[in-house]
Amino acid sequence: MTNLKDIEDFLSKRRVAIVGVSRDTRDFSRTIFREFLSRQYEVFPVNPLVSLIDEHHCYGDLKEINPPVEAVLVMTPPNVTEDVVLQCRDAGVKSVWFYRAAGAGASSPNAVSFCKEHHIDVIEGHCPMMFLADTGFVHRIHRFFSKLAGSYPK
């Protein structure tokens, strides 16, 4: 179960890859990418089908990023996530966040088990935008309702 300390630890890391950043400029993954950039994170978009994301080089695989990132935000479908955690292991990544706001999210039971077996810290679910300081109104509302529902990490 994810707790607030795990989330704070993840967000304290400054070299972050976002796997699954969409080609669609209006996709929410692009919003998250831009938000991390605006907060002075060193962010690396990963999508093997794209060469540029908002004028930033887009990587096809985590192993291409050198030096390696400290953390990975996974925004892929669950069936792709299992390949991503293999890449995390191979790249020496020790902190992974499986994004979820609505729908199934990026997590899969196999990916979570794999991470635990390989001593990779996991944040399962949630949207990082809820936990960033001075986040936008919509994300503060999401945080408020998450707390009301009892699903906000403690």
- Domain limits for position 68: 4-149
Q: What is the CATH number of the domain that holds 85?
A: 3.40.50.720
Q: Phi first, then psi: what are they for 46, rounded to 5°?
A: -130, 120
| pTM of the entire predicted model | 0.92
Q: How confident is the model at residue 44 (pLDDT cuts 50, 70, 90)?
A: very high
Q: Give me the number of domains the chain comprises.
A: 1
pLDDT digits (tens, 9 = 90+) for 62-99: 999 999 999 999 999 999 999 999 999 999 999 999 99
Mean pLDDT of 23-35: 94
What confidence category does residue 102 fall into, taking pLDDT thresholds of 50, 70 and 90? low
pLDDT score recorded for residue 103 = 64
pLDDT given at position 58? 98
Classify residue 97: in a domain, yes or no.
yes
Residue 154 lies in a domain: no
Classify residue 40: in a domain, yes or no. yes
Q: Is 125 inside any structural domain?
A: yes
For residues 29-55, give the mean pLDDT: 96
pLDDT at 93: 97
Residue 134 has pLDDT above 90, yes or no: no
Within-domain flag for 33: yes
In which band, very low, low, confident or very high, does the pLDDT at 100 lie, cut at 50, 70 and 90? Answer: confident
Has residue 30 been placed in a domain?
yes
Question: Is residue 45 in a domain?
Answer: yes
Q: Is residue 113 part of a domain?
A: yes
| pLDDT at 34 exceeding the cut of 70 | yes
